[in-house]
Amino acid sequence: MAEKKIGIFPASGSLGGSIVKHLSSLIPASSLILIARRPDSLAEYSRQGAVVRRADYDEDSSLDRVFDGVGVLLLISYPSCEHEHRSRAHRKAIDAALHSGVKHIFYTSLAFAGNLTQSTDALVMRAHLDTEAYLQELGRTRAPDFTFTILREGLYHESFPIYTSFFRPQEIIDAVTGENNRRQTGGGHGEVLIKIPHDGSAPGVAWANRDELGEASAKIVNLYMHDPLGYPFTNSTLLLSGPKVLMLNEVVAILEKLIRERTDQDISIKIKEVSVEEYANQPHVPPLLTYHGVDLSREWATAWQAIRNGECAVVSPVLKEILGREPEEFETTIRKELARQYGS
Structurally, the chain folds into a number of domains equal to 2
In this predicted structure, what is the pLDDT of residue 4?
82
Domain boundary among 222, 240, 258: 240
In this predicted structure, what is the pLDDT of residue 186?
40
Question: What domain range is 200 assigned to?
Answer: 158-204+244-313+329-342
Beta bridge partners of 54: 36
What is the spatial distance between Cα 233 and Cα 105, in angstroms, rounded to a whole number? Answer: 12
Could you tell me if 185 and 177 are in contact, meaning their C-beta atoms sit under 8 angstroms apart? no
What is the pTM for the complete model shown? 0.94
Q: Is residue 38 part of a domain?
A: yes
* Helix/strand/coil (H/E/C) assignment for every residue in 78-143: CCCCCCHHHHHHHHHHHHHHHHCCCCEEEEEEECCCCCCCCCCCCHHHHHHHHHHHHHHHHHHHCC
Co-location of 89 and 185 in the same domain: no
What is the spatial distance between Cα 342 and Cα 334, in angstroms, rounded to a whole number? Answer: 12
Co-location of 261 and 133 in the same domain: no
Q: Is residue 301 part of a domain?
A: yes
In this predicted structure, what is the pLDDT of residue 2?
55
Residue environment code for 323-336, b if the CB has 16+ CB neighbours within 10 A, otherwise e: beeebbbbbebbbe
Q: Which of 106, 26, 25 is nearest to 73 (CA)?
A: 106
Q: Is residue 164 part of a domain?
A: yes
> What angle in degrees, to the nearest 10, is found between the helix axes of 14-23 and 210-226?
50
Co-location of 146 and 180 in the same domain: no
Q: Is residue 321 part of a domain?
A: no
In this structure, what are the phi and psi dihedrals at residue 333, rounded to the nearest 5 degrees?
-60, -50
Cβ–Cβ contacts within 10 Å for residue 258, how many?
Answer: 19
Mean pLDDT in runs of 10 for the chain (344 residues)? 84 95 96 96 96 97 97 97 97 98 98 96 98 98 96 98 97 79 45 96 98 98 95 97 97 97 93 98 97 96 98 97 98 97 86
In this predicted structure, what is the pLDDT of residue 179?
42
Co-location of 143 and 199 in the same domain: no
- Taking each continuous run of H as one helix and of E as one strand, the counts in the chain are 15, 11
